[in-house]
Amino acid sequence: MANSVAVIADPKSGKTHKKEVSSDNLNALVGRRIGEEVDGIFFELPGYKLKITGGTSIDGFPMKSDLQVSGRKRILRTYSLGRRAKNGYRKRVTFRGSVIGTDIAQLNLKVTQYGPKPIEQQQEEEPKEAQ
């Protein structure tokens, strides 16, 4: 299983921060759903509380908050073109459920409670990997 990426949105500054998530930390998040709050310790952000807002599977399918499954599901979406529904079209689209599994490649989060240090300082303190 490859490492996943967490995209953390900071509502105060309006910036997003990208963090690598190890497979061990991702396994600890398995079974959580979109809308739940998680501790920032999973993303090396002690003192932070983060809300899960979405994500993407390894295959590129986006997570959908109203699908209460952990796998993929094909649903029929209706797209309207204007006020009248008869001018629209329907299309079968594949989505991933709202439950986090081991096949998540990207996890989107939003900061709800801030820790003692800003996220920028904590990213600078991380050791740089030799390439």
Q: How confident is the model at residue 128 (pLDDT cuts 50, 70, 90)?
A: low
- Residue 62: DSSP 8-state: B
> Would you mind telling me the total number of residues written for the chain in this entry?
131
Q: Residue 18 pLDDT > 60, yes or no?
A: yes
Integer Cα distance of 53 and 36 in angstroms:
8
Question: Token pair for residue 102?
Answer: 């081991």
Q: Residue 131 pLDDT > 50, yes or no?
A: no
Count the neighbouring beta carbons within 10 Å of the beta carbon of residue 27. 12
Per residue in 39-87, pLDDT (tens digit) is 999 898 999 999 999 999 999 999 999 998 888 999 998 887 766 656 7
Q: Model's pTM, two decimal places?
A: 0.83
* Closest residue by Cα to residue 98 from 23, 36, 22, 49: 36
